[in-house]
Amino acid sequence: MIMLNNAELEELGIDGNAYMQNKTVQEALNKADSTNRAAIRTAYNQAITDLQSIQGAALTTEASQIQAIKVWQVFSKSSLSS
């Protein structure tokens, strides 16, 4: 990568200070983009974890309901036969 100093930039008709300010802004934008991507990734992972917890709770509830139905079926059969 070729690095030019302010004098060399000015020889090319480029304002050296403006160039450095733009470079600093670009670096800040890149850093912000990286930070935003990390925040989005973290939020996404948390959402997946929350969804998995909800699914687990739903499966537990479903299993409890199935068990309750089985108990009721056994109870109702024994009640009818007595």
Q: Provide the residue-wise pLDDT of the chain in tens; the chain has 82 residues.
A: 667 777 887 888 888 788 888 888 889 999 999 999 999 999 999 999 999 999 888 888 888 999 999 988 888 887 766 5
CA distance 72 to 66: 10
Q: Residue 9: how many CB atoms within 10 A of its CB?
A: 16
Residues 6+ apart with CB under 8 A from 9: 15, 16, 19
How high is the pLDDT of residue 10?
A: 81
Dihedral of the CA atoms 22, 26, 31, 36 (nearest 10)? Answer: 120
How high is the pLDDT of residue 41?
A: 92
